[in-house]
Structure 1
Amino acid sequence: MQKPGVHTSATTSRAIRLESFGGPEVLSLREVPAPRAASGQIRVRVTAAGLNPMDWIITSDADTATRFGLTPPFGFGTDYAGVVDQAGDGVTAFAVGDRVFGGALSRAVADHVVIDVAGAIAVGGDAHRTPDGVDDRTAATLAIAGCTAAAALAVVNPGPGDTLLIGGAGGGVGVFAVQLARLAGARVIGTGSATSADALRALAAEPVAYGDGLLDRVRAMAPAGVTAAIDLFGTETMHVARELGVPDERITTIAAQVDGITPANGANAAPGAIEQIARLVAAGQLRVPIAATFPVEQIRAAVELQASRHVHGKVVIDL
């Protein structure tokens, strides 16, 4: 991955843009005027951008985009990592040359992104210092998946003595949720495809195949019962958890709204949660499997792979 220097005077920037909704074919790499950091803002020279399901869902679905306040034309991708190359008036938390990571809704896959220092991912973007020992590709995977996993675990609060069932455990959020739950002392059973079994074992989860018969398979693996559940894909795991007697207050979903179940949203992660995850990565206590990296020129191929939902880990774009 190329490591660009700090060039505060850059006037042009490459950015992925879309003019209409659709699949990967609507994404184009364009040369655009480089944004400038205003008061209270920093500009980041992005070196890596991590992909998430929400990225291509926003791209392909007008209703979802509207809920986020987006109408074409707009950019693509949310997770980023890079180096501060401009700091606006009044900014004291960051300086030119600082390594940072965070989220900037639907505009992260670009050479430069402007971040409001006091902002949030969906409004103005956010920035956090990248700890020593965490490379930019890894840092670029943390914001959305890490915050979502932290929020989900906060709902069910697993600990020693718990057996936690995680649906979709091999996906981008799942790799964080599994490891955070194991660090909390819980036993983790993770649903996935047959091809994800080895990847889940590598994260210290016990794999179980999703689909017909899941209830019986989980009963056989946990005859003493399951005590909490996180559904990261739809509602199958949630329904199985209910069948196993898990109370609704110890079940959460991230991709469905179900009466009686508290959903988890990364925007509601506790203050400091993402910094703690970054520190765990730096300390070697949490690892982020990166399934594939692509140069920005191959954005369409990267999105096709990520949207296949069969990636064991994260997909990252190099800039």
Structure 2
Amino acid sequence: MKAISYSRYGGPGTLEYGDVREPKIGPDSVLVKVRAAAVNPVDWKAREGYLDPMLDAVFPVIPGWDVSGVVVRLGVSVVEFAVGDEVIGYVREDFLSRGTFAEYVAAPVRTLARKPRNLTWEEAAGLPLAGLTAYQVLTGALQVKRGETVLVHAAAGGVGSIAVQLARHLGARVIGTASEANHDFVRSLGGEPVAYGGGLAERVRGLAPEGVDAVFDTVGGDTLRVSADLLAPEGRLVSIADGDVVGYGGRYYWVRPDAEDLTRLSELAEQGVVSVHVSETFPLERAADAHRLNEEGRTRGKIVVTVAQDEADGADGTGRADAASADPSKSTG
């Protein structure tokens, strides 16, 4: 199959487009024919080697954790899905190797949910990682309640834009930091935009003189200090970008694959509560350009890589794994 891969850590130039071996599927996994895969900051951070202290890399590594696609083969114990099901997934394993920037991906069922019927393939691919991050932080780590005021940093970005919508759905008032060019976009999501840069604290206090109840940080660095100063008594601070948040009395959060949470997000998308803004798409062979654009850190919503379907006709699509691969007695492992 065709895929994007890298055989060493480094810049976007390490990404190569070419043939790789089609992934095997375990008993609790399905083979997904990829239609689209979203780009996330973690993808280029992994490629640069920043995740090496946490995750082993089995080279060559296919990047990407977000996917939308169609189930074409089932592991022997899978009952949750059928061949032909349209799915989305945050397909993260505890090592780097078998990602979603490919014609096919082997996806554990614990990472998948059914695709929202009202979203395009590109929009659906942008929902899992960003949506799960926003949902788990707001409902779990921050425990946002109706009537509270929430400050969301980078409110026009992939995670931030979904966080604004979800926080509004939870009944919160949302203040969102964004560049001037994205203020109307943040308003369209239900947030009250404030500009980045010097004087941020004063601008936020102008909207919330008594402080904010919760801060959702996606930026890190000096933003953490400003955020901590803006908290009301008993306010909560969570960052997904900087572990130094602990020093400010906050919590660092890393998103987890969760089929139940992802199913809930899919339902909210179908209800019109959550939308995904796709700013730009790239064909699979131009994934390096997608990485470069994402690294600039100024994207509104999501950047998505698409897989041409005439390239992805190699799987047999016959259903369950063949007997030789499914029978443990025939395994050489």
TM-score with structure 1 setting the length: 0.88
* Deviating more after overlay: 238-247 vs 22-31: 238-247
Shift of 1:33: 2.4
Cα offset, 1:237, TM superposition: 4.0
CA distance in 2, matches of 1:243, 1:174: 20
The equivalent position to 1:33 in structure 2, one of 1, 6, 21, is 21
The CA deviation at 1:249 is 5.6
Aligned to 1:215, the other structure's residue is in SS state helix
The answer to whether structure 1 residue 78 and structure 2 residue 69 are counterparts is: no
Q: 2:290 is matched with which residue: 302, 305, 315?
A: 302
Q: Deviations over 1:218-241 (max 9, x none)?
A: 111222432221111114443223
**5+ residue gaps, structure 2:** 308-333
Q: Distance in 2 between matches of 1:245 and 1:129?
A: 38
Equivalent-residue separation in structure 2 for 1:104 and 1:182 (angstroms): 28
Deviation track 1:266-302 (CA, whole Å, cap 9, x = no partner) reads 1187x62221111111121211111011111111111
Match of 2:269 in 1: 281
Residue deviations 1:142-188 (CA, integer Å, cap 9, x gap): 22111111121122222332111111111111011110001111111
Match of 2:187, SS state, is helix
Counterparts of 2:102 and 2:29, CA distance in 1: 17
1:251 aligns with 2:237: yes
Q: Which residue of 2 aligns with 1:138?
A: 123
Matches within 5 A, 1:60-139: 60=48, 62-105=49-92, 107-118=99-110, 126-139=111-124
Structure 1: segments with no counterpart, 5+ residues: 1-12, 119-125
1:129-278 aligned within 5 A: 129-153=114-138, 154-247=140-233, 250-257=236-243, 258-259=246-247, 260-267=249-256, 272-278=260-266
Question: Percent sequence identity over matched residues?
Answer: 36
CA distance in 2, matches of 1:240, 1:100: 40
| CA distance in 1: counterparts of 2:234 and 2:148, whole angstroms | 15
| Rounded Cα–Cα distance in structure 1 between residues aligned with 2:257 and 2:104 | 27
Q: Is the 8 A contact 1:242 1:248 kept in 2?
A: no
Aligned partners of 1:229 and 1:237 also within 8 Å = no
Q: Which moved more, 1:225-234 or 1:238-247?
A: 238-247
CA shift in 2, pair 1:166/1:236, >3 Å: farther
Q: CA deviation at 1:15?
A: 0.9
- Give the length in aligned residue pairs: 298
Range moving further from structure 2, 182-191 or 102-111: 102-111
Find the residue that maps to 2:275 and give its secondary structure.
coil
SS at match of 1:188: strand
| Counterparts of 1:71 and 1:91, CA distance in 2 | 26
Alpha-carbon distance between aligned partners in 2 of 1:231 and 1:30, rounded to the nearest angstrom: 37
Question: In 2, distance between residues paired with 1:245 and 1:134?
Answer: 36
Quick one: distance in 1 between partners of 2:257 and 2:127?
A: 15
User: Partners in 2 of 1:202 and 1:131 — Cα distance?
Assistant: 21
CA distance in 1, matches of 2:202, 2:9: 41
Tell me which of the two structures has the higher relative contact order, counting C-alpha pairs closer than 8 angstroms and 6 or more residues apart. Answer: 2
**Any idea what SS the aligned residue of 1:305 has?**
helix
Are residues 268 and 318 of structure 1, via their aligned partners in 2, closer, same or farther at CA, if it must alter by over 3 Å? closer
| CA distance, structure 2, for counterparts of residue 273 and residue 242 of structure 1 | 29
> What RMSD in Å do the two structures reach over aligned CA positions?
1.8
- Once the two structures are superposed, residues 41-98 of structure 1 have per-residue CA deviations (whole angstroms, 9 ceiling, x without a partner) of 21110010011000001101x2413412225321111101100111121221111111
Secondary structure of the corresponding residue to residue 76 of structure 2: coil
- Contact 2:215/2:231 (<8 A) preserved: no
Q: Which amino acid aligns with 2:37?
A: A
* Higher strand proportion (structure 1 or 2): 2
What SS does structure 2 have at the residue aligned with 1:134?
coil
| Residues in 2 aligned to 1:133 and 1:81: alpha-carbon distance in whole angstroms | 13
Deviations 1:27-48 (A, max 9, x none): 1111122223343321110010
For residues 106 and 58 of structure 2, the distance between their equivalents in structure 1, rounded to whole angstroms, comes to 19
* Inter-partner Cα distance in structure 2 for 1:248 and 1:141: 33
Question: Does structure 2 conserve the Cα–Cα contact (< 8 Å) formed by 1:201 and 1:207?
Answer: yes
